[in-house]
Chains A and B, each alone.
Chain A
Amino acid sequence: MIHPRQRGTGSVAVLALAVISTGCGGSGSPAQLIDGSPTRAPVVALETSDAQIATSVHLVGSAAARRSRIARCLAGASERPAPGSIVERTGVDGSTITFRTASGHDVVACDGTTPTHPWCGHALGHLHDGRLLDPRLDLAGCATAAGDPLAFAWIEPRSRARFVAIEQGGYTESYEVVGDLPVRVTTTRSIDSENSRARFEVSEHDANGRRLRSYVLDARVAG
């Protein structure tokens, strides 16, 4: 469920503030992604007020798909991926694989933490007219190194959106939209284990970083 929160305005002042405040590794922003690589600012500064961290993203080729970790993800799925549809993401707290199945009916995710650990969660979403009806929240199985719960969900950005930003409390993680696939995002915030749901504070941005829309995704474990 999406709750409109605030419309993007394209304010130059806000964009300037975002650029100034983009300083990874300082003032509480994490210094590393989950794979140990240093965090960096997004190539395109997004129109948000927080410090920004770019998550890494790769469109996985057929050779890379044979790497053991990705291969284990693909082996666990009941259907093969469509050619050129495998996207690998690495953020501050989680790493994911997302791919569209060869039939085009579903998308599949493998959710994990560090590259040295096996995948700790999986998700399958049915596509209806090419889109998901549900974000397929995954709360089971994955936790941070400190043992805190970790939530994964898909965001379906609008067609003009090139970046999705998730507010993480003091900083924002930026996810580049790749391959016409939903974007698998991660958070440790606003997880309600008692009710098996999680809230994601989302903004979508165009190729210049301008905010297109902001909303809260209220995702529930289902199906």
Chain B
Amino acid sequence: MPRAGSFVVAFLMSAALTSAGTAAAYHTRFVADNCNTAAPTPTPYITRDGSATVALRARHEGYQWAGGCWNDNDRDDSPNDPKENAATGGEGGDCSGFTFKVWRESLDQGNAGFYQWGMLRNVHGPYTASAFKAGAGAPNVTVSKAGLLPMDALASDSHIGLVYATNPDGTDQIIEAKGEDYGTGVWTRTYRGSSSYSGVRRTGWS
């Protein structure tokens, strides 16, 4: 191969490798191809069992920083997204977006009503884990960790998970959108014993 041609090939290969390794160049088509902006359906009440069902549909789906859209095929359709990148367009919620949807909250922080968001509605909501921890917003209050009920939450300044069940030894099974490396699922966690975590409750359960 002539020297000029070799240089061009080497340059193109180098450019391709550089692009592949750059987080800013990474994106999936999951949100663009599957998600919508449909309005939520107001509902007159919610139950803890009903919210557990909503949460379980997200199990085994992915995790997306600032995300809130998933299907129910039990696999992450956009695995290995770069971390803490809101623009990657992948499947799943993050911890606070997942909680917002499962608790069927309103985008209006002053509204404590119940709103059913479709799985494929791409919505995150106004609350970070830290905001949930502080009980920000009309639907949310802080509660004692000793008195938590199923589908109440344990929140720190960087994460929030929902109490799904209690193990025989008293530890918690938490349903949560954990991170890009883990996706969304149910795991035994020790958040309740950590001073970083507080109890949070969505008000108004039937």
Give the contact stretch, choosing among B3-11, B123-131, B143-151, B164-172: B123-131
* A212-223 Cβ-contact flags toward B at 8 Å (1 or 0): 000000001111
Cβ–Cβ < 8 Å partners of A196 in chain B: 107, 123-126
Please give the number of chain A residues whose Cβ is less than 8 angstroms from any Cβ of chain B in the complex: 25
Chain A CB within 8 A of B66 CB? yes
> For the complex, what is the distance from the CA of A77 to the CA of B84, rounded to whole Å?
21
Please give the number of chain B residues whose Cβ is less than 8 angstroms from any Cβ of chain A in the complex: 33
Are A123 and B130 interface neighbours, CB within 8 A?
yes
> For the complex, what is the distance from the CA of A81 to the CA of B97, rounded to whole Å?
29
Cβ–Cβ < 8 Å partners of B95 in chain A: 223
- From 11 to 38 in chain A, residues with beta carbon under 8 angstroms from any chain B beta carbon are none
Chain B CB within 8 A of A92 CB? no
Are B128 and A140 interface neighbours, CB within 8 A?
yes
Chain A CB within 8 A of B183 CB? no
Are B66 and A223 interface neighbours, CB within 8 A?
yes
Instruction: Return the chain A residue nearest B85 by Cβ.
Output: A133
- Nearest CB of B to A103, in Å: 13
Are A134 and B126 interface neighbours, CB within 8 A?
no
Chain A CB within 8 A of B14 CB? no
Chain A CB within 8 A of B112 CB? no
Chain A CB within 8 A of B22 CB? no
Instruction: Return the chain A residue nearest B95 by Cβ.
Output: A223
Known: A196-B107, A221-B124, A223-B96. A78 touches B134 (CB 8 A): no
- Nearest CB of B to A198, in Å: 11
Chain B CB within 8 A of A93 CB? no
Instruction: Return the chain A residue nearest B140 by Cβ.
Output: A140
Are A78 and B131 interface neighbours, CB within 8 A?
no
Cβ–Cβ < 8 Å partners of B107 in chain A: 193-194, 196
Known: A141-B134, A194-B107, A222-B86. A77 touches B128 (CB 8 A): no
* A110-126 Cβ-contact flags toward B at 8 Å (1 or 0): 00000000000111101
Cβ–Cβ < 8 Å partners of B123 in chain A: 196
> For the complex, what is the distance from the CA of A140 to the CA of B129, rounded to whole Å?
11
Chain B CB within 8 A of A139 CB? yes
- Cβ contact of B156, chosen from A78, A128, A194, A222, cutoff 8 A: A78
Q: Which 7 A-B pairs have the closest CB atoms?
A: A222-B66, A140-B131, A133-B84, A124-B157, A141-B136, A140-B136, A220-B66
Seed contacts A77-B157, A124-B158, A194-B107; 18 additional CB < 8 Å A-B pairs: A78-B195, A78-B196, A108-B157, A122-B133, A123-B128, A133-B85, A134-B84, A138-B130, A140-B127, A140-B128, A140-B137, A220-B66, A220-B86, A221-B124, A222-B66, A222-B84, A222-B128, A223-B128
Q: What are 8 A-B contacts defined by CB distance under 8 Å?
A: A138-B131, A139-B126, A141-B109, A193-B107, A196-B107, A196-B125, A222-B84, A223-B96
